[in-house]
Amino acid sequence: MDLHFEELLKQITDFIKSEAKTETIVGEQFQLGEFKCVPVIKVGMGFGSGGGEGTEGKVRKGEGMGAGAGIGIEPIGFLVSRADEISFLAAGKTHGLAAVFEKVPDLIERIAKNKSKEETMA
């Protein structure tokens, strides 16, 4: 039996590299007022393979092999930056990415308040 595990692993790894990107899963970074928002994901993966061969007497001979891979991708939040400040806005376990989008109105309100303060001080 000829098992090319390294070749198979490379093909699977190349596929994951091309597909498991933040841009593919959540989207690209975006600008929200003065804030730059960069989505962050968590990627987990596992691989397994096995094979064997055997004979039964002089007549029967068999061999088999198999391989599998699994991947889990989860949006976990956003890196949010403004000028020289940076913070992480977590998506939360119970609500997933929806929790981040629920906070967008608050972000917009904070931007408006800060702009209003700056205009008052000027």
- Could you give the CA distance from residue 34 to residue 83 in angstroms, rounded to a whole number? 8
The pLDDT value given to residue 107: 72
Residue with tokens 């987990």: 44
CA dist 37 → 53, 87, 101, 107 (Å): 54, 10, 12, 11
Band (43; pLDDT cuts 50, 70, 90): confident
> In the predicted model, what is the mean pLDDT of the chain?
78
Compute φ and ψ for 86, nearest 5 degrees: -140, 140
Residue 96 has pLDDT above 70, yes or no: no
For the chain, domain boundaries: 5-121
Average pLDDT (46-66) is 82
- Could you give the CA distance from residue 117 to residue 83 in angstroms, rounded to a whole number? 17
- Could you give the CA distance from residue 106 to residue 93 in angstroms, rounded to a whole number? 20
Tokens of 30: 């975006």
